[in-house]
Amino acid sequence: MTSRRQPTRLGGSMPQGHAGFGSARGSQPYPSPTPRQSFSSSSRRPLAKSRPRLLPFLSLLVILLGFGAGALVAWATAHPDWVSRLPGLSPPLAEIPAPRAHAKAAQQRLPISLETQLERDPFALDPLASLSYVPAIMYHDVVAGRKQVWFDTTAAELRQHFEAIKQAGLTPIHIDQLYKHLRDGDPLPEKAILLTFDDAYLGLYENAYPLLKEYNYPATYFVQTGFVGVPTSKDHFTWDQMREMDASGLIDFAAHTVTHPPDLRVLDDARLRREVFDCKTKLEQELGHPIHYFAYPEGNRDERVKQYLADAGYRMSFTMDPGFTGQSPNLLEVRRFNQFRITEAIIGARTFSLSRSLDYWLDVTQPLALTDEIIDGVRVLTIRGGRAATVHAERRYEVSTLAQRYQADAGINGSFFSIPWINSASNVMVGPVMAANHKTFIPGRPEDDKVVRGRPLVLLGRDRIRFVPFDPDTMTRLENIRQLMPDVTDLFVAGLWLVKDGHALSPAEINSFRLASAAEFRPRAFFGVDDQERVVIGVTKTHVNAAILARILPKTGIREAVLLDSGFSTSLVYQGQILGTGHAAPHQPSRPVPHAILLYDLTRLWREDPHPEAKAGSEGDRLEGLVQLLPGSEQEAAKAQLKSILAGQRTLRRGDRGAAVVAVQLGLSHLATQQGRLDLLPSGPDGVYGQELAQAMAELVLAAPERSEMGSPLPATPTPLVAGTATARQGVDILDAQLLRRLLERVNLASPSVLVDTRLERSALLLERKPERKLLPSASVQPHTGAPSPTSGLSR
């Protein structure tokens, strides 16, 4: 396992098994310093005489170092995104602009067909299986008294485990049930768990089996057939004892090879075939029924070993890799927790019911409503209703800027992003992201995806929302996600669940997501759905941790909620005003973020613009759209400069600086996305008309990209589009009115428009249930009595 080279704002703990720098194992002691030698006065005189000769050299060195440090500081100040240019922190796939990952995503994406698909991989998990967190627990011998080896379990410990399973409301299941769930998505009990025992020890018959009968818990025994009834360092049960347990209906038997070789990968073909095939044959002969399942000795396997299992007719096999079964890569590598992680498995066990819809269908016709409440001493602001859309910007902006750019009524900062330094312009998100502003699926970085396993993946479709546990093995490709939600338009990975099915998560459940910042007290931001089928965005004005926030949200009528980035990123805006911020000053903007969630009041959009598609994009509209890519404070200056260029009064040349240069570069970034370019503008807008901008002008504005049959640009290769021409090699030194007009025509940025469709597909939006919000006791909820908000007319 390699360490992560780029800091992120994950807050997750280091994966288990990672060797820390302070590990004593394998470390070599440093040699002890040599004793200080004693010098006579005569031996020191030559050194004293040489000191005057060293002074000029040392003085010159100090001066050079001072100049170098000053130059470095000046350069770093002029290039605030220098961190992202370090070799170990090279710009990732989603670097500015976010949509520039289109070409890479297009390589991963396959055409989605709603017609009958090709024959399914027999060892692929059903996509819905990853919605459930079903643990399989691995035990070995169960002893009555003292343990003989460290991985033994005493009968008393096993009883404690069974009691914990019972108290937590978990239901042990048969291995066939798990297979049908993982393979076909068959439903399981609300909290299911599989108990497995390896190696055919006699203690499994004498000590474990009576406890299983007492609790009526089914279990699976993995047996190496060559050891049945054969004493080794430990005794093993016999075939007669196996048949007795098999007849009970509680114990399922499965294969574990013939002689338990520690590593199947090193066996020759003949020996591997014997271990895999003969074990299955022997079990079927002795027990009189088929054997479908297998466990790898010590978990070792490779593609050759898995192929032998498939050839032998096994349907599913188990490893020793820790994790929940639904998050396994395939049915031949199903994960198991060892018995020492039983608490983690119990806390995380959750089986989503597949018999009901997993979607929250939204009533988007309800106007936006602002609530400001104090609940259990915590002040909470929420905005509810309307239609939601997400923005993944090409750099970091204040939420108010993004809401203004896309004409949204309200907005809140989105989810977690990498490289947390304030002066970084990176827009790289933690986990996959797709947003309405660029409609491009951008996979997360693999090192981030591993850490956020199991955190909520938020899927937005047309008027519906789904929250599913993120699985990096199956949810890093858009076609897989579309099997969960075919009409998905937006997605992102949130920090953790706060409320699920109307119930607050417990502190232990919150800790299971391993978000380090969850325990800190800070202003919090959240996103969810309430009991009136309205989307909800909200913040706390009081500093709280995630557990406190989870406890109070159900009291506000919220049915499902996830944690967004919080602290200094916390920002809630409504009608142009900042209502919530991560700073002490109430109206001081929070730090810029690359991701935001926007809300639109459809009643306003219908009233103001019932036919938005009728607008035509003039040159002025396109110029306005280009300028709107900038922060609000820079827009007027850029607009004036660009208008003067269009009027023929000035040009942009190499070395020129300013907001107009940044606007041109951001426009080129959008154009690069449309043409599928990943090799242009890697460093982001720095406000200088330099080599990268000059080359991009030549390759994107002066070149005509090929187009597909449908009229959309074809993804280009990293080869320059006009390779071999002098213009492409040297770039465009001067940007005049003619080139600027060509850029505006190519990038086709009309004046900023809303990100949501104002049409309704469902005519009446009749919901099955629409309960009124329950009134809360006056002792626990008091209305805020501060200054009236600008939205008091929209109160609920």
How does pLDDT run across 437-485, given as a tens digit for each residue? 888 898 888 888 888 887 899 999 988 999 888 878 778 888 888 888 8
User: Residues 739, 741, 743, CA angle at the centre, nearest 5°?
Assistant: 70
pLDDT band per the 50, 70, 90 thresholds, residue 681: low
Q: Average pLDDT, stretch 636-663? A: 89
**Which range is most confident: 78-92, 535-549, 635-649?**
535-549
Q: Which of the residue ranges 15-24, 145-154, 413-422, 531-540 would you say has the lowest mean pLDDT?
A: 15-24
Which DSSP state fits 628? T
Whether 613 shows a pLDDT value over 60: the answer reads: no
Q: How far apart are CA 492 and CA 111, in angstroms?
A: 22
Please return the burial class of 448, using the count of CB atoms within 10 Å of its CB with bins 0-12, 13-18 and 19+: buried
**What pLDDT does 663 receive?**
85
Q: Identify which has the larger pLDDT, 327 or 773.
A: 327
Whether 370 shows a pLDDT value over 70: the answer reads: yes
Which DSSP state fits 275? I
Q: Average pLDDT, stretch 607-632? A: 64
Q: Which candidate, 392, 358, 391, 381, places its Cα nearest to that of 537?
A: 381
Alpha-carbon distances, residue 570 vs 235, 261, 383, 567, 584 (angstroms): 61, 55, 14, 6, 12
Whether 519 shows a pLDDT value over 70: the answer reads: yes
Which residues, other chains included, contact 630 with Cβ-Cβ below 8 Å and sequence gap of 6+?
A: 638, 659, 662, 663, 666
**What pLDDT does 92 receive?**
34
**Which range is most confident: 315-324, 356-365, 657-666?**
315-324
Alpha carbon distance, N-terminus to C-terminus of the chain: 52
Question: What does DSSP say about strands 136-139 and 337-338: parallel, antiparallel, or unpaired?
Answer: parallel
Q: Which residue has the tokens 């609000």?
A: 632
pLDDT band per the 50, 70, 90 thresholds, residue 618: low
Percentage of the chain lying above the pLDDT 90 cut: 39
Whether 781 shows a pLDDT value over 90: the answer reads: no
Whether the CB-CB separation of 236 and 227 falls below 8 Å is answered with yes
pLDDT tens, residue by residue, 484-505: 888 899 999 999 999 988 889 8
Q: Which candidate, 735, 726, 678, places its Cα nearest to that of 701?
A: 735
**What pLDDT does 588 receive?**
66
Which residues, other chains included, contact 105 with Cβ-Cβ below 8 Å and sequence gap of 6+?
A: 440, 441, 442, 443, 478
Alpha-carbon distances, residue 631 vs 50, 386, 498, 537 (angstroms): 61, 26, 33, 23
**For 278-315, what is the HEC assignment?**
HHHHHHHHHHCCCCCEEECHHHCCCHHHHHHHHHHCCC
**What pLDDT does 73 receive?**
60
**What pLDDT does 88 receive?**
36
Q: How far apart are CA 457 and CA 460, in angstroms?
A: 10
pLDDT tens, residue by residue, 17-70: 333 333 333 333 333 333 333 333 333 444 444 455 666 777 777 777 777 776
**Which range is most confident: 139-153, 351-365, 721-735?**
139-153
Question: What does DSSP say about strands 593-600 and 387-397: parallel, antiparallel, or unpaired?
Answer: antiparallel
How many CA atoms, within 13 angstroms, populate the side-chain half-sphere of residue 588? 7
**What pLDDT does 4 receive?**
36
Q: Which residue has the tokens 């939205």?
A: 791
Cis amide prior to 97 (ω within 30 degrees): yes
Please return the burial class of 254, using the count of CB atoms within 10 Å of its CB with bins 0-12, 13-18 and 19+: buried
Whether the CB-CB separation of 559 and 360 falls below 8 Å is answered with yes
**What pLDDT does 56 receive?**
73
E strand or H helix at 348, and its extent? helix 342-348
Q: Identify which has the larger pLDDT, 26 or 603.
A: 603
Whether the CB-CB separation of 460 and 491 falls below 8 Å is answered with yes
Q: Is residue 192 classed as helix, strand or coil in its secondary structure?
A: strand
Q: How far apart are CA 665 and CA 108, in angstroms?
A: 27
Q: What does the block give as tokens for 485?
A: 């939600």
Whether 627 shows a pLDDT value over 70: the answer reads: yes
Q: Identify which has the larger pLDDT, 214 or 62.
A: 214
Length of the chain: 796
Is the Cα dihedral 546, 551, 556, 562 positive or negative?
A: positive
**What pLDDT does 175 receive?**
97
Which residues, other chains included, contact 739 with Cβ-Cβ below 8 Å and sequence gap of 6+?
A: 697, 701, 732
Other C-beta atoms lying within 10 Å of the C-beta of residue 535: 25
pLDDT band per the 50, 70, 90 thresholds, residue 305: very high
Bridge partners (DSSP) of residue 515 are none
pLDDT tens, residue by residue, 120-178: 678 988 766 776 889 999 999 999 989 999 999 999 999 999 999 999 999 999 999 99
pLDDT band per the 50, 70, 90 thresholds, residue 775: very low
Q: Is residue 488 classed as helix, strand or coil in its secondary structure?
A: coil
Whether the CB-CB separation of 138 and 320 falls below 8 Å is answered with yes
Whether 254 shows a pLDDT value over 90: the answer reads: yes
Entry pTM: 0.53
E strand or H helix at 373, and its extent? strand 369-375
Is the Cα dihedral 193, 198, 204, 209 positive or negative?
A: positive
Phi/psi of residue 731, nearest 5 degrees:
90, 175
Q: How far apart are CA 622 and CA 519, in angstroms?
A: 47
Other C-beta atoms lying within 10 Å of the C-beta of residue 672: 24
Whether 222 shows a pLDDT value over 80: the answer reads: yes
**What pLDDT does 655 receive?**
87
Is the Cα dihedral 510, 513, 519, 520 positive or negative?
A: negative
Other C-beta atoms lying within 10 Å of the C-beta of residue 348: 21
Mean per-residue pLDDT of the chain: 77
Q: How far apart are CA 598 and CA 580, in angstroms?
A: 15
Alpha-carbon distances, residue 50 vs 27, 44, 53 (angstroms): 41, 10, 5
**What pLDDT does 665 receive?**
84
Q: Average pLDDT, stretch 322-331? A: 90
E strand or H helix at 448, and its extent? helix 446-451
**For 692-758, what is the HEC assignment?**
HHHHHHHHHHCCCCCECCCCCECCCCCCCCCCCCHHHHHCCCEECHHHHHHHHHHHCCCCCCCCCCC
Percentage of the chain lying above the pLDDT 70 cut: 71
Q: Identify which has the larger pLDDT, 703 or 355.
A: 703
Q: Identify which has the larger pLDDT, 171 or 684.
A: 171
Whether 783 shows a pLDDT value over 50: the answer reads: no
Q: Which residue has the tokens 């009883």?
A: 159
Q: Is residue 22 classed as helix, strand or coil in its secondary structure?
A: coil
Other C-beta atoms lying within 10 Å of the C-beta of residue 268: 7
Q: Identify which has the larger pLDDT, 589 or 645.
A: 645
**What pLDDT does 446 receive?**
87
Q: How far apart are CA 662 and CA 222, in angstroms?
A: 64
**What pLDDT does 74 receive?**
60
Q: How far apart are CA 788 and CA 172, in angstroms?
A: 55
Which DSSP state fits 620? H
**What pLDDT does 600 receive?**
93
Bridge partners (DSSP) of residue 392 are 595
Q: How far apart are CA 598 and CA 520, in angstroms?
A: 26
Whether the CB-CB separation of 318 and 295 falls below 8 Å is answered with yes
Whether the CB-CB separation of 639 and 623 falls below 8 Å is answered with yes
Whether the CB-CB separation of 388 and 598 falls below 8 Å is answered with yes
Q: Average pLDDT, stretch 369-387? A: 94
**What pLDDT does 755 receive?**
83
Whether 796 shows a pLDDT value over 50: the answer reads: no
Q: Which of the residue ranges 96-100, 229-233, 601-605 would you say has the lowest mean pLDDT?
A: 96-100
pLDDT band per the 50, 70, 90 thresholds, residue 6: very low
Whether 601 shows a pLDDT value over 70: the answer reads: yes
Q: Which of the residue ranges 10-19, 234-243, 645-654 would you say has the lowest mean pLDDT?
A: 10-19
